[in-house]
Each structure stands twice: as C-alpha cells, then as structure tokens.
Structure 1
C-alpha cells in the first residue's frame, strides 16, 4: 500500500462491517480507513462508549453514533457532519418486553404502567415511544417512564417527569423482579430473551408485527448514523462521497457471503437469509438521502413530540453538502 494517512472509523463488530475491518475496500486518494471495533455494551476489541467518545470527546475521525444523540448535538452546533449511512437499524416490536403479572396483552394495556428504558434519548427508546403513539394510539405521556442511565447529550424540560432507577439496578432486573411492568431496550440481556420469570415480548407474533410495519412504512428504522469530525472533512473533502461508495461495496460483499451455507454458525443460515430477502428485499441498509428521507422525517417528528428538540431540524443540515444528492 502506498503511503497514506490513517483515518479512524469506530464501528460495532457486525457482519456488514467486516470489509471495513478486513481493509477490503475501494482505494482512496490520500487516506485509508483504520477500522476500530468499539462497542457500547458490551465493549469491543477497542473498548466501549463509542457514542460518548465521539460526540463528547471527538476521539475518532468517523464513528457510528446514535441517530437521536447526533441530531441533538448537531442542532446545538456540534463540530460534526454526517453521511446518510445508517449502520444499525431495529424494529421496535422486537424490543418491548412485559412482565408475566403485569396484565399487559396489547399495546393499549401499557397506559398507566411503569416502563423501564435505558435512556429517554436512546434511539430505540425514541422509536418505540413514537411507534406506540403513532401506530397503536398509546401516548408516551400516559406511561410512567423509569430511566436507567445518563443521556449522551444533556437536555432538560420541565414537562418531562422521568424517574431514575435506583443505583446498581437495570431495567432488565427491575422487570424480572416485578418492579416495573415493561422494559424496552436495544439489546435485551439473555434472561429477557429466554423468557425467565415469565417475561415475554409484548406481541405474540413479533416477526409478523415487524413485517407488517415494514410493508406499511417501507423502511427498516435507522438507529445509528456515520458521523465525521468537521476537521477531518476539511482535510479530506472527498471523504463523505468515498464513504458512501465504500459502504455500498461492503454491503454487496456481505450479501454475497451469505450465499455460502458455511458462512454462519447456523446450519440453515442461508435458508434464513433467503427468507429474509423474500420478506424484506436486499436494500435494508441502503445509503443515501433519497432512500432514507421519509424515515428521517418521521424520526425527527418523534424527537420534537418527545420534547428532545424544540423544533424540527432541516434534514439537509445533518449531512455534508457533497452527498445531499446521493
């Protein structure tokens, strides 16, 4: 490789990021990406707290960060820009769990209940609150929210009445012990996933619920975005466009890998992959503003409704000018 500057990019260790970690990307002029495996919980090879280390400390040139926290930071003039690449996406229906004795059988039963979340501004929390209101008629104001940890971007609004969890407790523990009625989390621990103490998903058919959501909204909701330090873009003005090209190249390689039955530890992994493609298509992680604008519009509406933003921010402000037409 010819001499070039190393540009750090902090990512979670997911299948679609493997070409980044392998350095199996298109060549770039004047730089090369150095991928760091930085997680949140649990940490990755290169540590944890990826969102904070980027949005608070500007430690990396590029990082996968919370979409909600990035929008809040950008609205306050933080020295970052972004490219319309969304490396983490989730359906809220997969992440709402209820206690065995809570008397919750449908979304409307959440009214008046105590619901634990990791943070008010966590992107999955924003998505779930917004989906409950817009799709099921359950206003977030009709629920008592119990918050586990501090927010990435500080905010305050006297209209929000949030309870903090006791020190040392988690939302999962509180659900298992019956101290809360429901729990919403982007990465539920094994005890929740296994249904210990009678805990179960809010929906009897979460897969069907996710598929119906996808067909209705034609999107797999974005949770994270790729943020870039302004000074890095000033140094490499062609970096935003390169990232989109590199992302699309990496996604094509990832999809091809699943054609091999031996790619995953699951003996029937390729069959599951084929079914996923029939249900959701090949473009679940599509880059570009055109492919993601509708998703961003209603997610920003969720942020305003939940008192995280005083008013909607123009989507064009979130991304570098050189990639707005992508």
Structure 2
C-alpha cells in the first residue's frame, strides 16, 4: 500500500468543521487531510493570522481564507486555486453597531457619519458597504470611514474616503468613546455584543432583517473560501473534487449531531436548530459553483464598485477547472 501524504488544512474551530478535526472523513488515495485550528481574532490552537499565513506566506496546503482577499490575489495572478466551499457566512445586519449618542436610527442616518471597520477589504466590510448601497440606498462614498488594521492584499486608492486609525486603536474603543458613530466588525468584542457603553445594533430586529435578506437573495452570504496552493492541486489532481465531497460529508454529519438534545451546552439548542431549519432550510452552507454563482457574481460587483478590483473577474476563474461543473 502506498504511503499517504498529509496535507495541511487550516480552518477555524466551528461546529461544521469538527469532522475535519476529528479525521472523520471519507478516505482518499495518496493523501489525507491534517486539520489545523488556525484562527484570526482570537487565534486558535495552532495560532492566528490564518489569511495572511496562507495568502502572504503560503504556509498551508489548503486554508479557509477571506473571499475578498482571495479574489483580489487571484486577479493579480497569485499561485492559488480554490474550490467552491465557503466555510464562513454572515449577514451584515448582525454586525453593524451604532452609538446611542449618535442619534442613528436607520441606515439613511449613516450618511456623513464616521464608521469604523477592521479593513476596507475584510469580506464583512465589503458585504456591509455593498448591502447598505444596494438595499438601503446609502452609498459608501457618503460615509467617513476609519480603518483599524493593515490590509491582507496591499492596495492604494486615494479616492477612497478612508482614514487609518492610530496603531493600537480599535473600532470598538472608538465607538464606545464617541470618536466614531458606528462600527462594523465580523467578530466584535464581548463589550460590544453586550451593548456596553451605550452601544446597540443598527437593526433592532436582527431576525426580521436577516430573514428579509435571505428571502430576497436566497443565500447566506459567503465570507470565506477554501484556497489551495496551485502546486498542491497540480500534484494531487483528485484533491479539489475530494474537498467538495468531504465538505458535504462533514455537513451531513454535523446536521445529524444536532438531532441530539445534549449536543450543545444549550438545553434548548435542538429547538433553536429546528427553528433555523424552518427559517433558512438545512443547506445554509452549500458547496458547488451552481449553488453559489449568484452570490459570487454580486460580491464581485461589490469589489469593483469599492475600488478593490479594476474590473469584474469571471467566477469560473476563481476555481480549479475540475470542479467547475459542481
């Protein structure tokens, strides 16, 4: 029997990824996956800065990376490919926080205001800016943006209404102190989540706003994608299709685990799972190009509009040729 090559796979530590960390996956010939718990903020067991360590340092064979940064890197000819697997998805309505002192009550009130974000190309930032413009008529050009950190893929456009925050400053701190009026972040600190310092969500009824979004666009917006180093995909031609199969298998196992009332620490966790299925169905993380094409198309339009891409990038160009019919 030939030896099996271990391929490193950097993922965040989420429930839908547990089969990867447990090695509870379909068998493959010639390789197997070694899942690493690599976070962003905060780090995981195997460290942080997952996006940079893949896109900049090429440290892993396969990694969950920012969809926006991956598209930008790919458009510049970076030696990566990907499969249409999107491990992290978010609704922007859950991540826009405002100060009670600001008097902001609706998206329209953001015009002319100071809004902090982690980075201009952070996928959640791209989504929120695009959603505010396309769904609420609030053009990102009419907002004064404050950016907290460095960008994963370097770019510079003096036309953008963006001001860098001093090193060490955070959007969360500035929101609570009144230095900005709003704050958009994929994983805000607990103080923001708990509404400390007179902070609240822009959309008071999160549930209704997210349901309306889902019913309009029929998707849970993709934020991350599984990227593969080009030479790894070339060496293991069966790998892209295997990743799609392994993802679908892992999702089926994850859904099955929620049938047990004791699976989560929440006594009513199964009831919450059932309600989620009634609201959104049980395929919120579909793999494959067909199921995600529309989402990718308008996300790329957001990138072009926000000066992160010079021109539209073909959806097919993002993925390995072997999975384009998925």
TM-score tier, shorter chain, comes to over 0.9
Partner of 1:219: 219
Q: Which residue of 2 aligns with 1:64?
A: 64
The match for 1:269 is 269
In the alignment, which residue of structure 1 is the partner of 2:94?
Answer: 94
Structure 1 residues 153-162 or 74-83, which shifts more? 153-162
Aligned equivalents of 1:55, 1:146: Cα separation in 2: 24
Alignment-derived partner of residue 191 in structure 2: 191
Equivalent residue number for residue 298 of structure 1: 298
Which residue matches 1:109? 109
Cα deviation code 1:265-317 (max 9, x no counterpart): 10100000000000000110000000000000000000000000010000110
Give TM-score, length-normalised by structure 2. Answer: 0.99
CA distance in 2, matches of 1:31, 1:198: 52
Q: 1:205 maps to which residue?
A: 205
Q: CA RMSD in A?
A: 0.8
Deviating 4+ runs (over 3 angstroms): none
1:166 to partner: Cα distance = 1.8
Gaps of 5+ in 2: none
* Structural mapping, 1:227-242, within 5 Å: 227-242=227-242
Q: Report the counterpart of residue 167 of structure 1 in structure 2.
A: 167
The 8 Å contact of residues 115 and 184 in structure 2, kept in 1 or not, is answered as yes
Match runs of 1:125-144 below 5 Å: 125-144=125-144
Match of 1:118 in 2: 118
Equivalent position of 2:286 in the other structure? 286
Aligned residues: 326
| TM-score scaled by length of structure 1 | 0.99
Aligned to 1:325: 325
Q: Which runs of 5+ in 1 are unaligned?
A: none
Distance 1:200 1:162 in 2: 24
Distance 1:44 1:140 in 2: 33
8 Å CA contact retained: 2:87, 2:226: yes
User: Match of 2:233, SS?
Assistant: helix
Task: Please report how far the alpha carbon of residue 2 of structure 1 lies from its aligned counterpart in structure 2 after TM superposition.
Answer: 7.0
